[in-house]
Amino acid sequence: MADSPAPRLSAENSASQRSTLTNSVLVLSVLGCFAAAHWLEDLLTPLIVAVFSLFLIDILADQVGRWAPKTPEWVRVGAAFAFIILLLGASGALIYRAAPRFSLSLAEAAHKAQDMVYEVSDRFGLPYSDHPLAESVDFKPLGLGLLFAARRLATGLLLVIVYLGFILASRRTFASKLDRLFTTAESRSHAERVFQRVRDGAESYVGLQAFKGAFLALVFWAIMRVAGLDNALFLAFLVFLASFIPIIGPATAVALPVLLCLAQFDSGWRPLLMGVALEASVIAIDSVLLPRLQGERLDVDPVIVLVSLGFWNAIFGITGALFSTLLTVVVIAIVSEVPRLHWLAVILSKRAGSVPERP
């Protein structure tokens, strides 16, 4: 007598329900983690910057090892650590010193831009408000706000340095912790593979963006110096940071210097020429020289880059916007090694075939 299909269907339905319940709990857990991350934004933001700095230290240490293979590892890491600490300190000092003058330049630029709007509207007979922007908006708090932000950034950089020192100190015990956490050879091998994918993907992105940002900032600084623009060094630093923000970063990097140039100079030809030169530099660097290199080294779908910008900005603010692509690269590296989340890695990646198959 043939077996009844009812018990078999019942078992399949039960397995399907368990799988659905497990996936639902997993999704809710991930959402809960993101909510907790947003709640702990002030605590986690310096940690994110510290991890980013750690990737830079590893990249610099590896580069020194290529130049001087006989150099001990502790010397290479120590030199890279000192260099990054010097950069963080110089960045904090630059922002703290340049913020007041920069805020005044922004306020003056806003007034000048409003006057130009009135002139154009009057020439072409376009309607405009009877009250100028200078009378309706108070720009004085802008300077105090930037000063407060500079002091907050200095405190944040101090936390970054502390985090970075402890992370470097604890890396020596990482292997032993891994052995204690994952007792079987299979689980330990899987964990090592996950960590290696995270490190490779993050270091690839950090190295590429740091090179692009430094190159773009250097070109912008040279153009702004030739144009005679004030605060050229501070603007070049902002350009370096803006290069990490996908899509809107390059546009902001061009618009802000042009706006400040309009406020500083009365003639219209100088801001126009500087804007053309800056935009040409962005196109040459961001759209001609580096896209092939970026496409080969980064496996993130362009649509996901745009979505991740808003997503990580909602969780970590401006820091999330700066490191949105980096955080997405890390997420892809992790979920590609988790069988239940393999589908997410395929969706987020640019080339689905590059994601390793998982059972």
Cβ atoms within 10 Å of 24's Cβ, excluding its own:
10
End-to-end Cα spacing for the chain? 36
DSSP characters for 66-112? HH-TTS-HHHHHHHHHHHHHHHHHHHHHHHHHHHHHHHHHHHHHHHH
Residue with tokens 């230290």: 57
Supply the pLDDT for residue 139.
Answer: 47
Q: Where are the domains of the chain?
A: 40-181
Supply the pLDDT for residue 351.
Answer: 61
Supply the pLDDT for residue 145.
Answer: 55
Question: What 3-state class would DSSP assign to 236?
Answer: helix
Where are the extended beta strands (E) located within the chain? none
Question: What 3-state class would DSSP assign to 231?
Answer: coil
Q: Which residues are CB-neighbours of 112 under 8 A, at least 6 positions away?
A: 262, 263
* Cβ-count burial 292-307 (b if 16+ within 10 Å, e if not): eebeebbbbbeebbee
Output phi, psi for 338, to 5 deg.
-105, 115
Q: Which long-range contacts (CB under 8 A, 24 or more apart) does 241-244 make?
A: 241/213, 241/322, 243/209, 243/212, 243/213, 243/216, 243/217, 243/286, 244/209, 244/213, 244/322, 244/323, 244/325, 244/326
Q: What are the 10-residue block averages of pLDDT along the chain, 359 residues in total?
A: 54 64 71 79 82 84 83 86 86 75 71 66 60 47 55 71 83 74 76 79 79 88 88 86 80 82 74 86 74 56 80 83 83 77 76 52
**For residue 149, which of 102, 107, 108 has the smallest C-alpha distance?**
102
Task: Write down how long the chain is.
Answer: 359
Task: Give the Cα separation of 55 and 47 in Å (integer).
Answer: 12
Judge whether 123 and 76 are in contact, CB under 8 Å. Answer: no
Judge whether 45 and 316 are in contact, CB under 8 Å. Answer: yes
Residue 125 backbone class (left: φ over 0; alpha: ψ -120 to 50; beta: rest): left
Residue with tokens 């110089």: 90
Question: What 3-state class would DSSP assign to 158?
Answer: helix
**For residue 33, which of 284, 334, 285 has the smallest C-alpha distance?**
334
Question: With DSSP H G I counted as helix, E B as strand and the rest as coil, what are the percentages for the chain, rounded to 5?
Answer: 85, 0, 15
**In the structure, how many helices (H) and strands (E) does the chain have?**
15, 0
pTM of the predicted model as reported, rounded to 2 decimal places = 0.73
